[in-house]
Homo-oligomer: A and B are copies of this chain.
Amino acid sequence: MPRPVDVPSLVAAAREGTARAVARLISLVEDEHPALPEIVAALAPHVGGAHVVGLTGAPGVGKSTTTSALVSVLRAAGRRVAVLAVDPSSPFSGGALLGDRIRMSEHAGDDGVFIRSMASRGHLGGLSATAPSAIRVLDAAGFDVVLLETVGVGQSEVEVARLADTSVVVLAPGMGDGIQAAKAGILEIGEVFVVNKSDRAGADDTVRDLRRMVSLGDRTEPHLWRPPVVRAVALDGTGMDEIVGAVDAHLAWSREHGGLEARRRRRTVDEIEALALAGLRRRFAGDAGEDRLDALAQEVLDGGLDPFAAADRLLEQAGLSSSRS
């Protein structure tokens, strides 16, 4: 049995800025504690104030250094910042802890900074179910900016971009040339592009290529946000003010043009659906846990059932009539 939780006290403490309470709430989210619905309901009246900023980019571009430098700039401006390093690669936590330790030390002792990594190891809803709840905790705790950083490569940048109000894509010279950038699909998800390590050879080419491709996109739909391309050297702080400026400008633009609301609505649809699927799974599998789902899958593998029929059976046995009726 999980330990009982005094949700009202915990939420009150988190709202007063107690880091331990915030950390505990996120652990409860990560563990999919039975009190989670109560926690989320208690947070509900207090959310919506934070600017959620996604930071994505391939390994080696200096994403962690950039995050840390941005935290310093935001803190210097008096803003409270939470960093949530998310790893959508479900069962693996990889280098998140290492990265945490390195960065913790830099901002240690600063009450206005909260850094936490989260692997979506939960078996129920995955990242799409847990990350939004963690963001709600940080939002309700009064952080002005929540930086969502992807950990590692191959983690779905797109998934993280969907969670954010503003999506920052970090590149380094040599990666950003023409076709490669288009192929990478990053043009579509980035609202702010950062060319880090811009003191290195090839930076001019990368910046020029990105600017050209961004303006190409712009020409066809004139009312779209035109993503700025910022040159940066995160190690010495170069460009960090410009990134913060660009991120703030995007939020203002997005609020004015209605994009922010649409985006948050889509994000909430994703969240509701992930939670509904988790509910469906719980009802179907019941006390037998994963075994019943496995047995159903085995029937499909054995050729006795097709997957659509299996999905119908899952819905029926969870209490629904056929999905195709």
Interface residues of A in 68-111 (CB under 8 A from B): 87-92, 94-95, 98-99
Contact, CB under 8 Å: B183 / A320: no
Partner of A307, one of B275, B308, B321: B275
Is A164 an interface residue when CB atoms closer than 8 A count as contact? Answer: no
Assess whether A44 is interfacial by the CB under 8 Å rule: yes
With A180-B59, A294-B265, A303-B48 as contacts: A276 and B156 at CB distance below 8 Å: no
Does A154 sit at the interface, judged by CB under 8 A? yes
Could you say which residues of chain B place their CB within 8 Å of the CB of A43? 306
Known: A293-B272, A320-B280. A265 touches B182 (CB 8 A): no
Residue from B87, B296, B315 within 8 A of A280 (CB atoms): B315
Query: A281: which B residues are within 8 A, CB to CB?
Result: 273
Residue from the list B99, B185, B298 in contact with A87, Cβ < 8 A: B185
Check if A265 sits within 8 Å of B183, measured CB to CB.
no
Answer yes or no: A158 CB below 8 A from chain B CBs.
yes
Number of copies: 2
A272–B300 touching, CB < 8 Å: yes
Q: Is A226 an interface residue (CB 8 A)?
A: no
State whether B154 touches A307 (Cβ < 8 A). no
Shortest distance from the beta carbon of A151 to any chain B beta carbon, whole Å: 7
**A235 beta carbon closer than 8 Å to chain B:** no
> How far apart are the CA atoms of A323 and B276 in the complex, in Å?
8
Contacts of A310 in B (CB 8 A): 268, 272, 275
Known contacts A94-B183, A272-B307, A296-B272; A89/B301 CB under 8 A: no
Which single member of B152, B155, B184, B282 contacts A94 (CB below 8 Å)?
A: B184
> A116: CB under 8 A from chain B?
no
Q: With A92-B185, A175-B59, A293-B269 given, is the CB distance from A301 to B261 under 8 Å?
A: yes
- Choose one: B157, B180, B290, B311; the contact of A60 (CB below 8 Å): B180
CB pair A320–B323 under 8 Å, yes or no, is: no
Q: Which residues of A contact B (CB under 8 A)?
A: 36-37, 40-41, 43-45, 47-48, 56, 58-60, 87-92, 94-95, 98-99, 132-133, 150-159, 175, 179-180, 182-186, 188-189, 261, 264-266, 268-269, 271-273, 275-283, 290, 293-294, 296-298, 300-301, 303, 305-312, 314-315, 318-321, 323-324
Q: Beyond A154-B156, A266-B297, A275-B310: 11 further Cβ-contacts under 8 Å?
A: A44-B305, A58-B58, A92-B185, A153-B186, A155-B157, A273-B277, A273-B311, A276-B311, A279-B320, A280-B280, A319-B321
